[in-house]
Amino acid sequence: MIAVPVIGFMVVALLAIAFAAVPLLRAKNKKRTGLIAAGLALFVLAVGSGTYWMVGRPYLAQREARGTDALSVNEPNTLIPLLIQRVRQYPTDARAWRFLGQAYMAARDPANAARALGRAIVLEGKGDPELNTAYGEALVMANGGKVPPEAEASFIAALQVDPTNAPARFYLGDARRAKGDNAGAAQMWQSLLADTSPATPLYQMLVDRMALLTADVTRGNPGAAPDPRKMVEMLAARLKGDPNDALGWVRLIRAYAVLNETAKAQEALATARKTFAGNPDAQTAFDTTAKALKLN
């Protein structure tokens, strides 16, 4: 496919050379005109090749120009030109804008994802909590992980329709902590923690967030959250009643370590190793955690 435009540029360049060089070759001073023609040929070829390289091959332009022959489910960039073509032809197609935003997110382009998803919200309104959340997440990613005001408003709109929306609650906790409202952040995260399975990555992220609030308490932050260690106590109590959760033990050990409760972390590590004495995979996970936290 790349050879076709290259050949086209070469043909145009050669025609330009012929057009400029033929009059020169008719002149009487053959030696002089030959040198001029050769120099002109090199000049035209250099300009033509350089123009093609600089203008004809940038990644984003190539991504928008690729056709259906490049379609691949495993490559989100191949979907983007089709969706761009769709929204240009039908600019009021909210679903196409939504799909374009999702494709940009899959391609790790949150800035363009936010633009596309924002356009979908303009067309659909703010009644879809999933769309509002996707838009807010794109804005957060485009803003380096911080929750800008527009993203916060989008998360609030999502919660107004679906009070259980997990991503909205998570990021609104981040927004509150960034404003110094640690009590509000703790309330948001604790309620989400109660609805989150300990077997999910989100649970550990919440454990780490709550540990940060505890650090704020230690530093005497006036906006600190009340009793943020409660969620660690909840995990410890659950493991006491049902100890056959290796991942839960890893999280409890990490939580104690983050809270600077080394003795409790070591005690949890010993209990975990004893509980899973016949499980080599679990023992490897415990050993790795202990080494990372310097508990041995």
> Where residue 114 sits, what CATH number does that domain have?
1.25.40.10
Classify residue 62: in a domain, yes or no.
Answer: no
Q: Which one, of 159, 184, 157, lies nearest residue 173 by Cα?
A: 184
Q: Which one, of 147, 195, 205, lies nearest residue 171 by Cα?
A: 147
92 φ, ψ (degrees, to nearest 5): -100, 10
| Same domain for 81 and 148 | yes
Q: Rounded to two decimals, what is the model's pTM? A: 0.55
The pLDDT score that the predictor gives to residue 166 is 94
As a whole number of angstroms, the distance between CA 236 and CA 258 comes to 15
The pLDDT score that the predictor gives to residue 63 is 42
| Same domain for 163 and 264 | no
Amino acid, res. 253: I
Out of 178, 205, 236, pick the residue that ends a domain.
178
Amino acid, res. 175: A
Q: What mean pLDDT is reported for the chain? A: 76
For 228, the 3-state DSSP assignment is coil
The pLDDT score that the predictor gives to residue 4 is 42
The pLDDT score that the predictor gives to residue 221 is 55
pLDDT by residue (tens digit) across 263-276? 999 999 999 999 99
| Same domain for 97 and 164 | yes
| Same domain for 170 and 82 | yes
| Same domain for 284 and 194 | yes
| Same domain for 163 and 77 | yes
pLDDT band at residue 19 under the 50/70/90 scheme: low
Segment 229-257 mean pLDDT? 81
As a whole number of angstroms, the distance between CA 39 and CA 49 comes to 15
Q: Which one, of 144, 143, 165, lies nearest residue 155 by Cα?
A: 165
Residue that has been written with the tokens 């300009």 in this structure? 47
Q: Which one, of 284, 254, 249, 251, lies nearest residue 270 by Cα?
A: 249
Kindly tell me if the per-residue pLDDT of 200 is higher than 90.
no
pLDDT band at residue 54 under the 50/70/90 scheme: very low
Classify residue 150: in a domain, yes or no.
Answer: yes
pLDDT band at residue 95 under the 50/70/90 scheme: very high
The pLDDT score that the predictor gives to residue 75 is 57
Amino acid, res. 150: E
Segment 22-32 mean pLDDT? 50
Host domain of residue 282: 180-296
pLDDT by residue (tens digit) across 133-149? 999 999 999 998 899 99
Indicate the DSSP class of residue 163: T
The pLDDT score that the predictor gives to residue 77 is 66
The pLDDT score that the predictor gives to residue 24 is 46
Comparing 72 with 94, the larger pLDDT belongs to: 94
Please state the domain count of the chain: 3
Amino acid, res. 248: G
